[in-house]
């Protein structure tokens, strides 16, 4: 495993947002995550890539406990997470997630999707929640669709709603699980543009994606995973242009 000393030194002053320590997960006999350790600093943009079945989605879903793991510790801002109430609270207050299939609530309008958490969990007044959600929708360029239902929107628009919905809860860390994989080629760009904008605001982001262009443009570090292991970690110019391992090179030849 290679580490990028230069990048870490740069970020040394900032706090560690997520610390993954020796994570191991099995599906029955299948060992999907093998001794995965990784530190993600506050404000860092981390892109996770790798072939399908390499465990990258499982890894990102383990961070907010959508998947259970058998061994290892995930800490968020220094707080080790477990299965208790306190950990759940930390997860929901600090992490937002965007899914491959958007997972918008189809029976609610775009605006209601975004205000749901604000009114029911934050106990915000309807007017304040609407105002905040509209600001976010405006930021991703779909304020004019606020009264529509998700089923009436294109894939790209739906994914932008999903991003606003997560942002409404004001997370410190955003997890993206293949946000553009279910999209038509014409719509990938509009979602990536939103993510690039978000990256510029200093949000900590962990993205599982196959968009190498995006990785090169905004990632601070790229993680390459295969067979449940982290093979390479480093700045994009190192991992993507000049990989140290044959497995990485083989993968890159397929996606680039």
Partner 1 sequence: MDDLNVKNQPVLKQFVPTPPRPPHKSERGILGTIRHRCFNSIGNSLLTLCVATVLFYLVKHVLDWAVFNAVFIADNRRQCMDISPDSACWAGVISWFNGLIYGRFPVDEQWRVNIGVLLGLVWLLPLMSKRIPLRNFILLSWIGLYPFVGGYLFLGGRFGEELGLVHGAMTCLALAFLAIIYANWILSALGKKGLNELFVPLVSRLVERRIHLLSFVAVWLLVALVIASGLSQVSLEPVPIERWGGLFLTFIIAGFAITMAIPVGVILALGRRSKLPVIHWLSMTVIELVRSVPLITVLFMAVTLLPIFLPADMEFNKLTQVLVAVCLFAGAYMAENIRGGLQAIPKGQYEAAATLGLGYLHTMVLIILPQALRMMIPNIMTSFISLLKDTTLVSIIGLFDIMLMARNIANDKDWVGMHTEPLVMISVLFFILCYSMSQYSLNLEKRLKVDR
Closer Cβ to partner 1, 55 or 234, answer by number: 55
Please tell me the distance from the alpha carbon of residue 208 to that of residue 215, in angstroms, as a whole number: 10
Map residue 23 onto helix, strand or coil.
Answer: strand
Query: Does residue number 117 form part of the binding site for partner 1 (CB under 8 A)?
Result: yes
Q: Does 249 bind partner 1 (CB under 8 A)?
A: no
Interacting positions 125-184 with partner 1 (CB under 8 A)? 149-152, 162, 165-166, 169
Length of the chain: 256
**By the 8 A CB rule, do 17 and 76 touch?**
yes
Nearer to partner 1, 209 or 248 (CB): 209
The least CB distance from residue 106 to partner 1, in Å, is 5
Q: Does 95 bind partner 1 (CB under 8 A)?
A: yes
Size of the site for partner 1 (CB under 8 A): 29
| Number of H-type helices and E-type strands within the chain | 10, 10
13 HSE (CA, 13 A, CB side): 1
Nearer to partner 1, 27 or 120 (CB): 120
- Please identify which residue in the block is written with the tokens 């089923």: 151
For residue 77, state whether it binds partner 1 (rule: CB under 8 A).
Answer: no
Q: Is 25 in the site for partner 1 (CB under 8 A)?
A: no
- Please give the structure tokens belonging to residue 88: 């759940």
Q: At its nearest, how many Å lie between partner 1 and the CB of residue 150? A: 7
Nearer to partner 1 by C-beta: 2 or 101? 101
Q: Is 221 in the site for partner 1 (CB under 8 A)?
A: no
Helix or strand run (H / E) with residue 150: none
Torsion of CA 219, 42, 172, 216, to 10 degrees: 0
Per rule CB under 8 A, is residue 27 in the interface with partner 1? no
- Choose between 73 and 169: whose C-beta lies nearer to partner 1: 169
C-alpha R_g of the chain: 18
Closest CB to partner 1 among residues 73, 90: 90
CA gap 72, 111 in Å, rounded: 39
- What percent of the residues of the chain are helix, what percent strand, and what percent coil, each to the nearest 5? 45, 25, 35
Residues within the interface to partner 1 (CB under 8 A): 64, 66, 88, 91-93, 95-97, 99, 101, 103-108, 116-117, 120-121, 149-152, 162, 165-166, 169
């Amino acid at each position: 495993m290679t580490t990028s000393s230069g990048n870490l030194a740069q970020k040394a002053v900032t706090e560690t947002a997520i610390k993954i320590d020796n994570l191991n997960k099995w599906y029955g006999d299948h060992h999907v995550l093998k001794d995965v350790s990784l530190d993600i600093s506050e404000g860092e943009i981390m892109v996770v890539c790798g072939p399908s079945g390499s465990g990258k989605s499982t890894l990102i879903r383990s961070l907010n406990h959508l998947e259970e793991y058998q061994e290892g510790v995930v800490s968020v801002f220094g707080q080790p997470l477990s299965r208790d109430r306190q950990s759940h609270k930390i997860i929901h207050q600090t992490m937002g997630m965007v899914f491959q299939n958007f997972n918008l609530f189809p029976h609610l309008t775009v605006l209601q999707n975004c205000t749901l958490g604000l009114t029911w969990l934050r106990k915000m007044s309807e007017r304040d929640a609407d105002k905040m959600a509209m600001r976010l929708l405006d930021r991703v360029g779909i304020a004019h669709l606020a009264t529509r239902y998700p089923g009436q929107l294109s894939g790209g628009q739906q994914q932008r709603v999903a991003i606003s919905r997560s942002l409404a809860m004001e997370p410190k860390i955003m997890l993206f699980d293949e946000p553009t994989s279910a999209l038509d080629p014409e719509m990938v760009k509009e979602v990536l543009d939103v993510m690039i904008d978000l990256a510029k605001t200093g949000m900590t982001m962990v993205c599982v994606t196959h968009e190498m262009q995006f990785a090169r443009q905004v990632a601070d570090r790229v993680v390459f995973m295969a067979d449940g292991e982290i093979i390479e970690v480093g700045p994009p110019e190192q991992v993507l242009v000049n990989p140290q391992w044959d497995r990485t090179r083989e993968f890159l030849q397929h996606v680039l």
